[in-house]
Structure 1
Amino acid sequence: MSLSSTSMTDLVQQAFAETRGRLTPQAPLGPRTWFRVGGAAEWMYQPADAEDLAAVMQRLSPELPVTALGACSNVIIRDGGLDGIVIRLARGFSDITVEEDGLVVGSACLDATVAEYAAQAGLAGLEFLAGIPGSIGGAVRMNAGAYGSDIATVLDWADIITRDGSLIRLDAGALNFGYRRSGLPEGALVIRARLRGTPDKQADIAARIAQVRAARELSQPVRARTGGSTFRNPDADISPRKAWELIDAAGCRGLTRGDAQVSEKHCNFLINLGQASAADLEGLGDDVRQRVAQHSGVQLHWEIKRIGKAEGPSA
């Protein structure tokens, strides 16, 4: 159901009348994304804390579309921006509590920051987070992983706020983790999570984090405007080769569309060379998928989320 601008405004004013957070109309999103592309949010809401968020969600009409954004690392926001409410969790969701055998972390905490806290606390097992761009909320949602581990391996529970404003704690089993996915309820937002750690020497943990960072620096275009791995690796029964190998074999390394480029350093990464649009990046990704399918018969699936509307009245 489409809403007129007047009715949309009325519904927004009703839902946010008592919020302690910040509500911004037509908030630019491109500067917040790692690719530095994308249109504006019709409304951006930054809740003060979990209670503020839950209260707004309870009042929010089901007719209003809601999109949650974290660090905006593995996302392409299309050039026409996002309709409805964009929720961005920030200061009120960045606490970290150290416990004897783990950390309780807010969803806005950067993955790399959590790895550092774990090292300082002498807790091993979270070093892999140092190699993942983004924040914990997104990491839980997509079961982020790298360097031999993933969120499913270390998560005890996650607190979520559902679309109707209910606060629920789900253990790892209830999240139904799979490869780069979770079974979070539709429209739910992760607000905090507990991650397990194993006692170890701080120096040894720090050394492993340094190895992760060095490996990432060596193999990935970490200093470019990029969004992390573009495509999921195929299941082993479909192809024994990883996504980057299939892309390379199809001759896509260095391929461009406008100012978007397939990284020459790691060809499962797309790069904004400076003036790329979201359409350039998404179109280049689709070019790569087509070439890989023609060359090897393998259908690559996006790991990066593409959200929002294309620019122009025909979108």
Structure 2
Amino acid sequence: MEPIIHTIFEKQTGTWQYIVACPNTRQAVIIDPVLNLSLSEFKITTTSADELLAVAETNNYTITRLLETHAHADHLTAAFYLQQRLLAQNKPKALISTGRRIRQVQETFAAKYAVPNAELEQAFDHLFDDDETFTIGDITAQVLHLPGHTPDHSGYKIGSNVFTGDSIFNPDVGSARCDFPNGDANALYNSMQKLLALPSHYKLYTGHDYPPADSGREPLPFVTVAEQLEGNKHVKKGTTKEEFVDWRRKRDASLNEPRLLHQALQVNIRGGRFPESSDGSQRTFLQVPFHIPQFR
């Protein structure tokens, strides 16, 4: 059985969000939902997340899981916000879920941002094992471990569709950076080859799209395995691992850090929760580390 798939593009961060539903039972999951963050206004809003809720409501879906492909460094997840909104509507609890290697990422960035362990232990309701299966109504989905961009990265195979996160981009964009802690260009090449070994008609739904300025095209949520093999500019058929790794490492060395890196990681390793307010208000504080000179 093939699922119903809704594709919702968040323009500010170039992120694809997905609602994937069983046509028989109307049970559904949401993949990689986004909170809207304005750095100029120091303000977080829920426009994008509320759009997801509206689609679910219009189609009479019961959201059973909120799936993260990895700890994103370019946007804040709306998973916890969505879970709380659904609970407030007396809906069943939607489980915030991701791959089990999120624990490694939590450990890395908890030390950097002084995040208490108590705020991490219950951040996710379920951590998937590699190749674990779960159900969306009458459909069986499978978790794929796809490391490289980050060590915790997972994809979700649902019918003949794979929601790849940042493990592969559309052909004229290519691939994602591998210079985050424990990222690995060798591992990313292997993950991309795992995806490219799937049947040629499978659809690979990407986590982002950044259409090149000269392409004249609109953002695309997916292309097929066959199209990726034919045209992915970084790993098309015939590209060797050595060629890819050499290019990827040189490219990554020239990149600036993502604009929302520090804010995103502090929220995303908490499963979408924010640090507790010290004064009980709606304000919260996220750390931005600086390297300062040693003064004598």
The TM-score normalised by the length of structure 1 is 0.27
Specify the structure having the higher radius of gyration (Cα). 1
In terms of fraction of residues, the more helix-rich structure is: 1
